[in-house]
Chains A and B, each alone.
Chain A
Amino acid sequence: MLSKQQKNRGIVFTLTSIIEGFLVILVVALLLWFSLSRIMEIHVSVEENLNERHSIILANALISNENIVYIKDGKILRGVLDAEKLDKLFIKKSDFLSNIKLLTSDVDLGISYPNSIIIVLVLDLEKCNNNDCDGWIVRLRSPLSLSGISLFNFMDCLNSNIKVDVGTIFRFFLAPPLGGLWQPWDIDKCVKNNIPPSFKSFFNKNRISSQGFPILIKYKDSIHVGRIFVGLGEFI
């Protein structure tokens, strides 16, 4: 049988071990807090096909746009394009090949993304001959916005992520001479967030055109089934 004193000694040893252990956890937690508040910086990079997303939004906006959509009693009939308005604003697809107007002139419908080349194609699926359908085509006017140019945004991003610390010395030897100023993931983030997919697709063969949206085309006395396609490419 153990004496009372010896039993107490055992309990004291157990408590000491637990307290020591918890102190270790506290030190780890403090190191974590220090790393979070002083060293670590969380960067957000988004991987998506921005051109695809933009062309889907633009196609949706176009089939609600009052400049080309059929309006009845002051109400926009979404998805029903007015053939008369298309004749006025767009170029007939059959005239397109013999007319270079598409390359030189553009149309302002009040909606378009800046710094982009945007081609809109409307096909009448009930006027087809040997898989070649009649329709309209146009280049949308895209305003130039200097501050929106991807290359400037990319430079801005790099500029705001310059790191001068102890790691610079190592990075300088790994990727001389300018690579030393950035962490590799900073450069990766700036490319992902700022370089448009139309440029990146030259390197990775991404598809950048939408599959098109189903529409109706309202002629004077009939309605045809059709499809609208939006091709979009941002400047670098």
Chain B
Amino acid sequence: MQENVWKGLAASDTIGILLVILTTIFFLVYILPTLFSTIIETLARSSPENVARQVSSLISSSTISTFESRIEYSPGKDKEYKIEIFDRIVKVGIKSKLAYAEKTESKKPILIDLSYKGEDVNTFIISKKFEGVSNYAFEATKK
């Protein structure tokens, strides 16, 4: 009789441990990699390095338009950047509350002469209009 009781207790323990092991495996195999890849992807997309590359490429690419163009680029609604354009260089820094996001600024070259300085922005707008000569305008806002 006593032996049967211990058998029952051991079986219950085993079920409990198995449940925990299964949950841990699910956490390690599915949730953790998804969490990490989401964090890394979000940070990579909204990092100053990537934003500086995108903004510099978009400004440079706006020269390709032959009549009129307007390019709007928004790397993330919940992000805030500071941007400076001078000497055909775009400098981008991020104001991030995330401890694990790097805080370095990034500088990338552009094709045309522009001048701009802005802080706490997350949307970048590049416009071009050709009226005998090409005219470019850049503005950055918070949306």
Evaluate whether A53 and B57 lie within 8 angstroms (CB atoms) in the complex, with A41-B100, A64-B64, A65-B63 already known. yes
* Additional 16 contacts, C-beta under 8 A, given A11-B12, A61-B111, A145-B87: A13-B13, A17-B17, A17-B20, A40-B100, A42-B101, A42-B102, A46-B50, A53-B57, A57-B57, A64-B63, A65-B63, A74-B132, A112-B111, A146-B87, A156-B105, A160-B104
List residues of B whose CB falls within 8 A of some A CB. 4-5, 8-9, 11-13, 15-17, 19-21, 23-24, 27, 32, 39-40, 43-44, 47, 49-50, 53, 57, 60-61, 63-67, 86-89, 91, 99-107, 109-113, 130, 132-134
Shortest Cβ distance from B34 into chain A, in angstroms? 13
Decide: A113 and B111 in contact? CB cutoff 8 A. Answer: yes
**Chain A residues closer than 8 Å to B32, beta-carbon distance:** 32
Decide: B61 and A148 in contact? CB cutoff 8 A. Answer: no
Most A C-beta atoms less than 10 A away, residue of B9, B19, B64: B64
Tell me the bound Cα distance from A65 to B101 in angstroms: 40
**Chain B residues closer than 8 Å to A32, beta-carbon distance:** 32
Evaluate whether A148 and B103 lie within 8 angstroms (CB atoms) in the complex, with A46-B49, A46-B50, A61-B60 already known. no
Per CB-CB distance, the 8 closest pairs between chain A and chain B, nearest first, are A21-B20, A17-B16, A145-B87, A61-B63, A76-B66, A14-B12, A44-B47, A114-B88
Decide: A161 and B104 in contact? CB cutoff 8 A. Answer: yes
Shortest Cβ distance from A50 into chain B, in angstroms? 9
Decide: B43 and A42 in contact? CB cutoff 8 A. Answer: yes
Evaluate whether A147 and B87 lie within 8 angstroms (CB atoms) in the complex, with A13-B13, A18-B16 already known. yes
- What count of chain A residues pass the 8 Å CB interface test? 61
Tell me the bound Cα distance from A137 to B89 in angstroms: 27
**Any chain B CB within 8 A of the CB of A164?**
no
**Chain B residues closer than 8 Å to A53, beta-carbon distance:** 57
Decide: B109 and A113 in contact? CB cutoff 8 A. Answer: yes
Tell me the bound Cα distance from A56 to B101 in angstroms: 31
Tell me the bound Cα distance from A16 to B20 in angstroms: 11
**Any chain B CB within 8 A of the CB of A103?**
no
**Chain B residues closer than 8 Å to A21, beta-carbon distance:** 16-17, 19-21, 23-24
**Any chain B CB within 8 A of the CB of A22?**
yes
List residues of A whose CB falls within 8 A of some B CB. 2, 6-7, 9-11, 13-18, 20-22, 24-25, 28, 32, 36-38, 40-46, 53-54, 57-58, 60-61, 64-66, 74-76, 78, 110-116, 143, 145-148, 153, 156-157, 160-161, 193, 234
Evaluate whether A37 and B57 lie within 8 angstroms (CB atoms) in the complex, with A9-B9, A66-B134 already known. no
Shortest Cβ distance from B94 into chain A, in angstroms? 11
